[in-house]
Every structure is written in C-alpha cells, then in structure tokens.
Structure 1
Amino acid sequence: MQFRPTLWPTLITIPALVVLVMFGWWQVQRLQWKTELIQELEIRGAGPAIPLLVDARISAEDLMFRRVTVTGHYMHEAEMHLLNRVRDGIPGINVFTPLVRANGGGALLVNRGWVPIDWPGTSIEDHDVEPVIVEVTGVVRIPDPPGWLTPGNEPEKNAWYFIDLAGMSAAAGVLPFTDYYVFATGEKNLAGEPVPWLAPDPNEWRVDLPNNHLTYAITWFSLAGVLFIIYVIYHTRRRGPDDG
C-alpha cells in the first residue's frame, strides 16, 4: 500500500479540516459556557426570594430565573390568555395578568399559571372585584422569541400565541412593561381577604435553556474525521508489480 497525496486535494482538505476542527472546539467551549450558565441560573432559582426593586441599573439578564417578591394589585380586566398550552394531552392556556406595583414602578406582567381551556374561571367577566393588594412570589423570566410556525397574536380577540411584552402592555392600556415577566409560584393576600382568582396547578418553573452544544461538537468532529478518512483512502493505492 502506498500513500501518495496530490497537490490540489491536499490544498483543499487541510484548510477544510482546520475549519471543521475549529468549529468543533468552539462548540466544546460553548458547551462549557452554557453548562456553567445553567448551573448559575439553577442556583439563583434555589435561593431565597428577594424584593423586586425598581432600579434601572438592574438588567433583565441579571434577574433572569431569580426568585423575587413583588407587591401590588392585579388588573383583572386586562387578563390575557397565552393559547395552545398543552399539558398531559389536555389543551389549555396560560393566564397572564398585569400587576400594578405598590412601589410606583408601573405595571408588571405576571404568568399566573396554566388552566384547561374549558375552566370556567378563565373568563375576565368574572373579575368584577375591588383591587386587592397581594404579594406575589415568583421567578423572573425573559420571553422566548416566536418560532417560524408561531401564528401572529390577535390582541382584539385576546388570543396570544407568544409573549409580546410591548403588544401586551398596549392591549392592557398601561405604560410599557419591563423587558421581563414574573412566573408566579405563589400569592399572599396582604389584606386578609380571599385572592380573587388564582390559576390552579401552576407549572413548576425550571431552567429550560437549550444545551445542544455537545451534539454540535460531535457533528463537527465527525465531519472532520470522515473527511480525513476519505482523503487517506483517495490517496492510498495498492502497490503494483511495477512499484519498486
């Protein structure tokens, strides 16, 4: 067997191998970064709840997945429904309600949890009640961007298919929401009266950031390996009787 590399295939293959290995190594670095980020966010979520302050110096990224408490009253007349939320095969919705903060920080959007689509308590007409001051405990979340196949929101029908904080604040008739929302994990009435409405069985929050970098790294390294094998096979031939 003889290995006889030729000029042009070699000039093409070597840079391609370098690029593929670089992409694979970059994904390994991204894997380490994403793993550390997820661990940090899980630590945030496991810590004690802190008061959600009105401070322009604190970014949404600094608060993401942090447990917080916020006090105010709900704008039940502006309740909004995030559609197409299926749980255990049961169609339902996530109920979002603006919370007017007691500390003068404007309105904040709160995800109060999941309910079946036919649950009678999801009608906004049922909320003709006086504002009640509540303390909400929850986790700060940043909305995910809509997917390619996600339908457009229909505010006039209270039909929301993805979280659009600017559109939702306009529909509620309030100043723009913060660039995050709170996933409620509990509510406490500070006036000692019944909370007007609370979605039953709210989703338990979790750090659900995608972490596919290991798969990507394996793909790039595999492509590099396949290319190298093809290169070697292409330039290897059996020695004939006339070869030395």
Structure 2
Amino acid sequence: MTTEATRARFPWGLTVVCALAFVLLASLGVWQVQRMQWKQALIAQAEAVATAPPVPLYPPRSARPSARVEASAVAPEPQPAATTLQELPKFPEFQRVVVACNWETRGYVRLRSIHEGVAGDRIITLCQQFLVDRGFVPDGATRPITRLYSSEPGGREIAVIAQARTTPLPSPFALAARDGIFYSRDNKAIVKALGGDPGHFGSQVLFAEQSTAPEAPALIAEPPPAAFSNNHLGYALTWFGLALAVLGFYIALLRRKPSLKPSRSEGEASGTKESS
C-alpha cells in the first residue's frame, strides 16, 4: 500500500515539464555564449582588416593610382591577376581594397538614406562587377549634384580606397524603386538598373573611403559605421538564471509537498480494520 501510494503521488508530470524547461533554458544560455564568441571573433577580424593596408581589386588600366592613394598605403602583395567574371573575389568583411574606375562615365542610382540624422541619397555605381557606394549627399545641399565629375581631365581612370561590406537583404515591405531612386538596398535590382548582369554581381558592396568626385564637396565619402552590439553575455546570464530558477522552483515544490508516507490516522484506521 505504501509503495503504491508513493508512486501515485510522485509528480511525474511536473518533473517532465521542469526538466524540459531547464534543458531548453540552459541550451539557450549555451547558444548565447557561442554567439558571444562568434561576435568577439568578428570584432577582432574587423579591427584587423580595418587597419591593414588595402589590396588592389584589379590592376587599374591607367597603371597608376590617384594622387589621393599614397603608394605606401597600397599593399604590394598579393597582386591578383586579371579575374574573369566567374572568379569574382569574396573579401573578408571590412577588408579595404583599391578600386579603379572612370567615375565620370559611370551611371549611378540614388538610394534614399539617413546619415548622422540627415536625410539624403547614397550614390551607387557599378564598377568591375562590384557595386561601389560613392558616398552620401544630404538633401538641400548648396550645390545639388546633377553629374559627378572625375578628378582628372578627360575622365581618366582613377583609384580610390573602399571598404568591402555585406549588406542585409531588403525588407519585403520596402517601397519599389522609381525614377532611378531606390528606397531599399536591393543589390540585384540596382545592378540590373545600372545595366549589369545580376548573375555576375560580386555580392559585396564597396563603400568608398575617399571622394570619387572632389569637385563635388557635397558628396560625403564615408562608409556607414559598423554596428556591433555584443550583449550576448548578459543574455546568457539571463537564460542560465531562468534555468536555475526553474530548478529551484521544482526543488521547493517537492519539499513543500505533503509527505508521501501514510499519515498516523490512516495507519490507525487500517489497523482498526485489520483487527475487526
């Protein structure tokens, strides 16, 4: 009788629920620790490549960089050979590269954006099968840009330093492009609008760190800031704390549960029945 009552009163359902909750919360804590380690590695990589010398995207046909790119700033190695459209490079995030184009002859589209709280347009050009974000032009500029001029007479090819970044996919609720103005960074659509082949797009966007049109001072050549938020340790501690809380709740509930042994009155009653 005592064994059967003990088995009947043991909270198997509560035990299973608490065990599943504990495992789930602890797993979420471990996942956040792994995310923290990944984020720390990403930050370290970004800091390393951001301070490293830029590498050439392709050898410029003009055989000489712009005066704005010092010779000592360009890494002599590696020197990539001419790359076919099927062998476009994939750079590490935040890698600095030297990209050369005849900027005057390049068509461009405008992407509505906000820079330091000011609304305006980002000017995007297709160069060597990469999208180059040439910079930001605020609304109401004193000299509105209707044409972006080259810094050399005759529109010769010049080189500037840019930063390789991977941009997020556009929101499905973003407004559609109209009259050459985009409202989301839909890279494939931008490549197509610029007359390029989306299938040969290099997947990364190169953000110019130097002006591609010094004669247009309204053009701010500055990549967007890297938004790194490493709050995963706090999240991990929260999940682990909740897991411990579930465990404590389960232990406290077991201790407050009535004794599984038969009470004295029950024993006396059973003894009376047996004697009778």
Q: Same fold (TM over 0.5)?
A: yes
Alignment counterpart, residue 136 of structure 1, candidates 145, 149, 160: 160
- What is the correspondence of 1:16-55 to structure 2 with a 5 Å cutoff? 16-53=21-58, 54=83
- For residues 140 and 64 of structure 1, the distance between their equivalents in structure 2, rounded to whole angstroms, comes to 6
**Residue 179 of structure 2 is aligned to residue 157 of structure 1:** yes
Larger radius of gyration: 2
**Residue 251 of structure 2 is aligned to residue 228 of structure 1:** no
Number of equivalences: 224
Q: Is the 8 A contact 1:38 1:207 kept in 2?
A: no
- For residues 196 and 133 of structure 1, the distance between their equivalents in structure 2, rounded to whole angstroms, comes to 16
Classify 1:36/1:127 alpha carbon distance in 2 versus 1 (closer, same or farther; 3 Å). Answer: closer
Q: Which runs of 5+ in 2 are unaligned?
A: 1-8, 59-82, 265-276
Q: Percent identity?
A: 26
Any idea what SS the aligned residue of 1:178 has?
Answer: coil
After TM superposition, give the deviation of residue 66 of structure 1 in Å: 0.6
**Residue 182 of structure 2 is aligned to residue 182 of structure 1:** no
Classify 1:72/1:202 alpha carbon distance in 2 versus 1 (closer, same or farther; 3 Å). Answer: closer
Any idea what SS the aligned residue of 1:84 has?
Answer: strand
After TM superposition, give the deviation of residue 223 of structure 1 in Å: 2.3
Classify 1:215/1:161 alpha carbon distance in 2 versus 1 (closer, same or farther; 3 Å). Answer: farther
- For residues 76 and 215 of structure 1, the distance between their equivalents in structure 2, rounded to whole angstroms, comes to 51
Q: Is the 8 A contact 2:163 2:223 kept in 1?
A: no
Any idea what SS the aligned residue of 1:9 has?
Answer: helix
Q: Return the letter of the residue paired with 1:166.
A: K
More strand by share: 1
Any idea what SS the aligned residue of 2:182 has?
Answer: coil
- For residues 86 and 26 of structure 1, the distance between their equivalents in structure 2, rounded to whole angstroms, comes to 34
- For residues 180 and 114 of structure 2, the distance between their equivalents in structure 1, rounded to whole angstroms, comes to 15
Q: Is the 8 A contact 2:52 2:96 kept in 1?
A: yes
Classify 1:201/1:74 alpha carbon distance in 2 versus 1 (closer, same or farther; 3 Å). Answer: closer
Q: Is the 8 A contact 2:208 2:223 kept in 1?
A: no
- For residues 48 and 169 of structure 2, the distance between their equivalents in structure 1, rounded to whole angstroms, comes to 25
For each residue in 1:69-115, what CA deviation from the matched residue of structure 2 results, as whole angstroms up to 9, or x when unmatched? Answer: 0112126662222213142x32222222233xxxxxx3432112222
Q: Which runs of 5+ in 1 are unaligned?
A: 100-105, 189-193
Classify 1:5/1:114 alpha carbon distance in 2 versus 1 (closer, same or farther; 3 Å). Answer: farther
Any idea what SS the aligned residue of 1:236 has?
Answer: helix
Q: Return the letter of the residue paired with 1:72.
A: C
After TM superposition, give the deviation of residue 147 of structure 1 in Å: 4.1
For each residue in 1:217-240, what CA deviation from the matched residue of structure 2 results, as whole angstroms up to 9, or x when unmatched? Answer: 233213212322332333332889
Any idea what SS the aligned residue of 2:168 has?
Answer: coil
Farther off after superposition, 126-135 or 114-123: 126-135
Any idea what SS the aligned residue of 1:235 has?
Answer: helix
After TM superposition, give the deviation of residue 145 of structure 1 in Å: 1.9
